[in-house]
Structure 1
Amino acid sequence: MVLASCLQRCVRLLLLPLHLLARLGAWGSFYKRVFPYIMAKVAPLYNHKVCKQKQELFSNLRKFAGPSGQLTLLEIGTGTGTNFQFYPPGCRLTCADPNPHFRKFLLKSLSENRHVKLEHLVVASGEKLHQIRDGTVDVVVCTLVLCSVTNVQKVLAEVLRVLRLGGAFYFLEHVAADHSSWTYFWQKVCDPAWKYFGDGCSLSRETEKELEKTNFSELNLRRIRVTPYWIPTSPHIIGYAVK
């Protein structure tokens, strides 16, 4: 990985102007406004690639509905709302995202998916879901979010806190490739730039290990590839965990 380290240093040098803007707070405030427009274009393309996987993943959501038969679902990092189409009719939805500039795209998606009912819209990161009470959620959903949060452990601790006993956490995340692979090589090289243009996203995060360390009673997880192996975001994990 010596070559990867050298190339990574070169990338960091090229990114020095962005780094300075970020330290001054200018890049973050600018990109938070721009990022939702980028995702409004990119997310549907990604959804098309993983449509079958998402359909399969969310096919048993109703299994975790509460005693009333209604499903109370919290989505962390809702973004533009590309998952709404996969949720069952009558689903009671709470959306949490730290970026308020996603709001208009999220509301547009809701207008196109009237089978779900929005109950709460919370501007908050996954690490700080204080507005949601303990044990009040049947299902938590998180797709392409754990790669960019500040602290995965804190997010998963919040997931466990808000889930009722027997509730489930559904996830679909791109993760670090095998450390001996060329994919991982390019992940390490591209990581510095990816964090700036992916709103804090890390290509080489070991999310699978964090899930295994979390105190879930059951973990159903498998690895998949969404794109050709040479694309840094190719390796994914998909599944659900039960509290």
Structure 2
Amino acid sequence: SCHLAFLSHPVFEMILNPHYSPSLLSFKPNGRCNFNKNRRTQITTFNNGRQRSDSSPTLEESNESLSESLMPDSLCPRRLCSCGRRNFIEALGTTLFPISPSTASDSHPDPTQDMLKRVHPPRPDWYEELYASVLDTGTKSYEAEIAGYKSQLFTNLKGKAKEVLEIGIGTGPNLKYYAGDDGVRVFGIDPNRKMEKYARAAAVAAGLPPTNFKFTQAVAEALPLSDASIDAVVGTLVLCSVKDVDMTLKEVRRVLKPGGLYLFVEHVAAKDGTILRFVQGVLDPLQQTVSDGCHLTRKTGKYISEAGFSDVDINMAFLSTASLINPHVYGIAHK
């Protein structure tokens, strides 16, 4: 959820791309890159037609080949960088989900809550409520366009993942993808406690039983879960706004069971030297301020590729409804 409403003004579109036409989105996809014998990263790029081939040596070169001469059709991103949060509720939750037992005491504070305070200091209630409300109502166009990519990813969980953790769950836009998957239990975390009511409403709309959805205020750098306890971790537009990407990915690997899956959708920096990359650099400080820490210039695909997963399949795409936060990487990493 990375969203700057004022950037939808036509002036920004003319500055970034005065000669834009839909034909600019006709680009050639790239392919696979092996980092070592034991960790394979497959890179595939997609345009709106979802063409595919296998021929790219690095993720950065895939990004460059996509970004060159490509400008999205507007500068009005539809998402605010989502990172979800709130205290996990009582003992019932602990019997249903593999929550790490708290060791908090007056002399030894809970490390999960300590990390929450350090990386996500408390915000005023009005700010967190406003942010959650805007995120809930201002991402419809983005979610409609990204739906095909997300549906493709979530089919990998059907009937296979019963315990799912979603980091940065936000208002719960992904919960509808669990509909019809009997028995799946979703544990969502987000540092913004105001996200909970929206996420719970989304869970009800998706048909998840109340006992199969839990929300807690926490950060991805310190997941309140036991080692090797989760079948799948889902994160969409999260790594742009965490304080420590490496620590977050280390935590994802820690809580995954052997063979577990990490599903991700993230926006990344455009190619160096392009107008879009220049604008991202200029607006990055403002984006971090108004979008709860979201960075426009992170090379998140590289972080994921080098995080130590046994196998990583990374795809890339440009979205017309998310021009400032283009391109996107999405895919699956295997523990």
TM-score after normalising by structure 1: 0.82
1:194-209 matches, within 5 Å, as 194-209=287-302
Once the two structures are TM-superposed, the CA of residue 49 in structure 1 deviates from its matched residue by 1.4
Superimposed CA distance per residue, residues 197-233 of structure 1 (whole angstroms, 9 cap, x where no aligned partner): 111101111111111111100000011111279x221
CA distance in 1, matches of 2:156, 2:121: 44
Establish whether residue 107 from structure 1 lines up as the match of residue 200 from structure 2.
yes
CA contact (8 A) 1:227 1:233 kept: no
> Given the alignment, which residue of 178, 202, 217 partners 1:123?
217
Superimposed CA distance per residue, residues 140-175 of structure 1 (whole angstroms, 9 cap, x where no aligned partner): 000011100000101100000000000010000111
The residue that corresponds to 1:40 in the other structure is 136
Identity of aligned residues (%): 33
1:237 corresponds to which letter in structure 2?
V
1:58-77 matches, within 5 Å, as 58-62=154-158, 64-65=160-161, 71-77=162-168
The residue that corresponds to 2:279 in the other structure is 186
1:1-243 matches, within 5 Å, as 28-29=123-124, 30-62=126-158, 64-65=160-161, 71-87=162-178, 88-115=181-208, 118-129=212-223, 131-227=224-320, 231-243=323-335
Secondary structure of the structure 2 residue equivalent to 1:128:
coil
CA distance in 2, matches of 1:103, 1:26: 18
Task: Looking at secondary structure, tell me which structure has more helix per residue.
Answer: 1
CA distance in 2, matches of 1:135, 1:187: 37
CA distance in 1, matches of 2:240, 2:169: 14
Once the two structures are TM-superposed, the CA of residue 63 in structure 1 deviates from its matched residue by 6.4
Using a 3 Å threshold, how does the CA distance of structure 1 residues 119 and 33 change in structure 2: closer, same or farther? closer
CA distance in 2, matches of 1:212, 1:63: 26
Which structure has more relative contact order (CA 8 Å, sep 6+)? It is 2
CA distance in 2, matches of 1:187, 1:227: 16
* Structure 2: tracts of 5 or more residues without a match: 1-119
Secondary structure of the structure 2 residue equivalent to 1:61:
coil
Number of aligned residue pairs: 212
CA contact (8 A) 2:141 2:321 kept: no
CA distance in 1, matches of 2:307, 2:159: 22
The structure with the largest alpha-carbon Rg is 2
CA contact (8 A) 2:228 2:258 kept: yes
CA distance in 2, matches of 1:133, 1:224: 34
Once the two structures are TM-superposed, the CA of residue 27 in structure 1 deviates from its matched residue by 10
CA distance in 2, matches of 1:43, 1:216: 31
Once the two structures are TM-superposed, the CA of residue 234 in structure 1 deviates from its matched residue by 2.0
TM-score after normalising by structure 2: 0.60
